[in-house]
């Protein structure tokens, strides 16, 4: 592999001129710059990443801690990852892939100057990794919002607003009994903050409109979704609309509704809270509060870049939810108020 010295020799300039010509950090005459660029191109020169990192104390690498534990929704994880990778590339950064389980890993890549920022996915309300993240020698950005965000940069969908939006949309269409098919009771108890915030928003929306919200936790499986529908319609007041915030259960919910002979939206209105790709893979189209995974991934990188740039202010950014296809699976409530 050619080094910067080879390029310098070929271009007939000094070593530092090559460096400056290529980085643009110093005024270089047009003529020399062209000669240098040409020599570099012809030799197929690529700066040695390690040497550069050593000299500049920057690796130009962003570490990304991705959860691999089973039961997690893979689709949305991939959305985040895709967003992070794309945004990192536009900033000339590479992405180092870490498993999210081990906080030690994040500490290692940060302390060894392997990465100069970290993005951590799947952060829980009371995440065990928080102290470690605060102690990091490099900036970190969390996807997900813990209870205590002091000193931490966080980004996520505004799930509270998403819950409110979903319920409001239905309430404004005249529905007065709405079921929320949410994450499993286990996940809720674990403090999966998106589920908790979503529920809070849905409850707030219900209260604001004076409608009833039935809470139906569901396992993240096809069978779980089907069971949740059974439960929603078996209990007390019969819902005329469903909000489903459980990607993996969505297929089961739709299937169970069909089996019960309930047409969407003629008999039941449905609002899904999910990445648009998942909603698109269902047998029927659904009105969707989008979880914009890619966008959040991008923002995470932007925030990391900003903090690498020396901006110390940790901030929490909540992305406003958007309602997709408001008409397709929401209809005015047919049932008369009792």
Partner DNA sequence: GTGAAAGCGCTAACAT
Partner DNA sequence: ATGTTAGCGCTTTCAC
Closest CA to 67 of 149, 148, 157, 142: 142
Query: Does 52 sit near DNA (CB under 7 A)?
Result: yes
Q: Establish if 261 lies at the interface with its own copies (CB under 8 A).
A: no
The residue (of 23 and 99) whose beta carbon lies closer to DNA is 23
The smaller minimum CB distance to its own copies, of residues 202 and 274, is found at 274
Tell whether residue 15 is a contact of DNA (CB under 7 A): yes
List the one residue out of 268, 270, 184, 262 whose CA is nearest residue 225: 184
The least CB distance from residue 119 to DNA, in Å, is 24
Q: Which of 38, 41, 51, 207 binds DNA (CB under 7 A)?
A: 51
Task: Rank residues 114 and 221 by Cβ distance to DNA and give the closer one.
Answer: 114
Nearer of residues 113 and 316 to its own copies, judged by Cβ:
113
CB of 7 to its own copies, least distance (A): 13
Q: Which one of its own copies, DNA, none interacts with residue 99, CB within 5 to 8 A by kind?
A: its own copies
In sequence order, the 6+-apart residues with CB closer than 8 A to the CB of 91 are 301, 305
Instruction: Give yes or no for residue 230 binding its own copies (CB under 8 A).
Output: no
Give the nearer residue to DNA in terms of CB position, either 31 or 234. Answer: 31
Distance of CA 234 to the CA centre of its chain: 35
338: Cβ contacts below 8 Å, ≥ 6 apart: none
User: Is residue 222 within the footprint of its own copies (CB under 8 A)?
Assistant: yes
In this chain, which stretch among 17-25, 51-59, 232-240, 265-273 interacts with its own copies, using CB under 8 A?
Answer: 51-59
* Contact partner at residue 285 from DNA, its own copies, none, CB < 5 to 8 Å by partner kind: none
Distance between CA atoms of 46 and 274, rounded to whole angstroms? Answer: 42
- From candidates 9, 37, 47, 316, binder to DNA by CB under 7 A: 47
Among its own copies, DNA, none, residue 26 binds (CB under 5-8 Å by kind): DNA
State the residue for tokens 């219900």: 206
By CB under 8 A, residue 54 contacts its own copies: yes
- The secondary structure of the chain, three-state, reads CCCHHHHHHHHCCCHHHHHHHHHCCCCCCHHHHHHHHHHHHHHCCCCCHHHHHHHHCCCCEEEEEECCCCCCCHHHHHHHHHHHHHHHHHCCCEEEEEECCCHHHHHHHHHCCCCCEEEECCCCCCCCCHHHHHCCCCCEEEECCCCCCCCCEEEEECHHHHHHHHHHHHHHCCCCEEEEEECCHHHHHHCCHHHHHHHHHHHHHHHHHCCEEEEEECCCCHHHHHHHHHHHHHCCCCCCEEEECCHHHHHHHHHHHHHCCCCCCCCCEEEEEECHHHHHCCCCCCEEEECCHHHHHHHHHHHHHHHHCCCCCCCEEEECCCEECCCCCCCCCCCCCC
Binding to its own copies by CB under 8 A, coded x per residue (else -) over 93-122, reads: -xxxxxx-----x--xx-xxxx--------
Q: Is 43 in the site for its own copies (CB under 8 A)?
A: no
Q: Is there binding between residue 90 and its own copies (CB under 8 A)? A: no
As measured in angstroms, the least distance from the Cβ of 125 to its own copies is 25
Q: In the bound complex, what is the minimum distance in angstroms from residue 39's beta carbon to its own copies?
A: 16
Sites of contact with DNA (CB under 7 A)? 1, 3-5, 12-17, 19-20, 22-23, 25-29, 31-33, 45-48, 51-52, 54-57
Sites of contact with its own copies (CB under 8 A)? 1, 44, 46-54, 59, 61, 64, 68, 70, 74-75, 77-78, 81-82, 85-86, 89, 94-99, 105, 108-109, 111-114, 137, 221-223, 226, 248, 251-252, 255, 277, 281-283
């Amino acid at each position: 592999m050619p080094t910067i010295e080879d390029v310098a020799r070929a271009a007939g300039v000094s070593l530092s001129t090559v460096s400056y010509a290529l980085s643009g950090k110093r005024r270089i005459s047009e003529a020399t710059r062209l000669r240098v660029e040409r020599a570099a191109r012809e030799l197929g020169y690529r700066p040695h990443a390690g040497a550069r990192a050593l000299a500049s104390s920057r690796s130009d690498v962003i570490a990304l801690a991705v959860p691999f534990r089973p039961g997690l929704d893979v689709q949305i994880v991939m959305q985040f990852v895709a967003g992070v990778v794309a945004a990192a590339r536009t900033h000339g950064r590479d992405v180092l892939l870490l498993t999210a389980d081990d906080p030690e890993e994040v500490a290692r890549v940060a302390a060894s100057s392997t990465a100069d920022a970290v993005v951590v996915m799947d952060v829980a309300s009371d995440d065990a990794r928080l102290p470690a993240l605060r102690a990091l020698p490099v900036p970190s950005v969390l996807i997900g919002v813990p209870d205590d965000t002091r000193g931490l940069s966080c980004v996520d969908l505004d799930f509270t607003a998403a819950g409110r939006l979903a319920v409001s949309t239905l309430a404004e269409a005249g529905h007065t009994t709405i079921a929320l098919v949410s994450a499993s009771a286990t996940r809720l108890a674990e403090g999966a903050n998106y589920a908790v915030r979503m529920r809070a928003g849905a409850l707030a929306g219900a209260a604001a409109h004076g409608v009833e919200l039935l809470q139906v936790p569901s396992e993240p499986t096809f069978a779980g979704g089907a069971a949740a529908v059974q439960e929603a319609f078996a209990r007390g007041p019969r819902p005329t609309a469903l909000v489903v915030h459980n990607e993996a259960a969505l297929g089961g919910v739709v299937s169970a509704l069909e089996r019960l002979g309930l047409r969407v939206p003629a008999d039941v209105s449905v609002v899904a809270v999910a990445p648009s790709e998942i909603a698109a893979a269902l047998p029927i189209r659904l009105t969707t509060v989008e979880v914009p995974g890619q966008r959040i991934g991008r923002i995470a990188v932007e925030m990391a870049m900003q903090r690498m740039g020396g901006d110390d202010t940790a901030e929490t950014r909540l992305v406003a939810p958007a309602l997709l296809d408001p008409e397709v699976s929401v209809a005015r409530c047919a049932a008369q108020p009792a």
